[in-house]
């Protein structure tokens, strides 16, 4: 499973990452609520481990925001708080389960395993726009009976643009979402991957293309 760990206590986050990776999961790790939202909107996560007390945006705000955007990804709240009102607030905000800190590795893996089994149809597996379907599990872009495999960056860009197809995306925005805010990616990287993605759209014969708006950014365009 692809799991996002949202935890600002570095030692704990590293320990959790170690346990999950040893158990065969892929993990990403962020330490504040705003980065969590950025990553979740972009990444194809099967599960989110979400701390409540976080810098920038707290965990409950992140969770409410996600659910209000329609994201169905299962969320396991990590909380040092043991009081009932906080748990109720978390459940109301759309959490699927709780783990109270400190917890032991066995307990963590048991909960993660239970949430995977429960997952079922909760996760949205595809994004469709016009004649295109982006398969979030297979990481492929499809049109009719034709499909192409996407690289991780192509996938990130396609996912972003197809999720909000009417939006104009500046290069800075694409870098921050697809590469991360602390990355050293430049406009050249964006241009390269947009050009790869265009080739794949042409291969598929899609009506959708990526238009370059000079000095502004990119926008999806649909041929009549």
Judged by the rule CB under 5 A, the positions of this chain that interact with Ca ion are 8, 51, 53
Minimum CB separation of residue 78 from Ca ion in Å reads 8
Q: For residue 72, what are its two tokens?
A: 């169905």
Cβ proximity to Ca ion: between 32 and 96 the closer is: 32
Minimum CB separation of residue 8 from Ca ion in Å reads 5
d(CA 147, CA 66): 29
Minimum CB separation of residue 137 from Ca ion in Å reads 31
* 3-state DSSP assignment of residue 123: coil
The residue ranges of DSSP E strands in 156-224, in sequence order, are 168-169, 208-213, 217-222
Minimum CB separation of residue 7 from Ca ion in Å reads 6
Q: Do residues 221 and 211 touch, judged by C-beta distance below 8 A?
A: yes
Neighbours of 62 (CB within 10 A): 26
Q: State which residue has the least CB distance to Ca ion.
A: 53
DSSP state letter for 121: G
Cβ proximity to Ca ion: between 23 and 53 the closer is: 53
Closest alpha carbon to 4 in 73, 71, 94, 60: 73
Minimum CB separation of residue 9 from Ca ion in Å reads 6
Cβ proximity to Ca ion: between 77 and 141 the closer is: 77
Closest alpha carbon to 218 in 180, 183, 175: 175
Cβ proximity to Ca ion: between 51 and 96 the closer is: 51
Cβ proximity to Ca ion: between 78 and 157 the closer is: 78
Tokens 């430049």, residue?
Answer: 186
Closest alpha carbon to 93 in 115, 66, 116: 66
Cβ proximity to Ca ion: between 64 and 219 the closer is: 64
Minimum CB separation of residue 30 from Ca ion in Å reads 12
């Amino acid at each position: 499973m692809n799991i996002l760990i949202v935890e600002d206590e570095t030692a704990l986050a590293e320990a959790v990452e170690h346990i999950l990776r040893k158990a065969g999961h892929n993990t990403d790790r962020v330490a504040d609520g705003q980065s969590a939202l950025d990553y979740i909107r972009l990444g194809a996560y099967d599960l989110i481990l979400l701390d409540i007390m976080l810098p920038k945006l707290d965990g409950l705000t992140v969770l409410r925001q996600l659910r209000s955007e329609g994201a169905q990804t299962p969320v396991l709240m990590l909380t040092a708080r043991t009081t009932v009102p906080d748990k109720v607030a978390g459940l109301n905000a759309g959490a699927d389960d709780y783990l109270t800190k400190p917890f032991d590795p066995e307990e963590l893996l048991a909960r993660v395993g239970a949430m995977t089994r429960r997952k079922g149809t909760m996760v949205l597996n595809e994004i469709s726009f016009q004649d295109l379907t982006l398969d979030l599990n297979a990481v492929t872009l499809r049109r009719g009976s034709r499909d192409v495999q996407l690289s991780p960056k192509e996938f990130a860009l396609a996912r972003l643009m197809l999720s909000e197809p009417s939006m104009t995306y500046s290069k800075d925005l694409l870098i921050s979402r697809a590469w991360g805010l602390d990355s050293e990616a430049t406009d050249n990287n964006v241009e390269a991957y947009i050009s790869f993605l265009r080739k794949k759209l042409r291969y598929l014969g899609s009506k959708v293309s990526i238009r370059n708006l000079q000095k502004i950014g990119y926008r999806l365009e649909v041929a009549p």
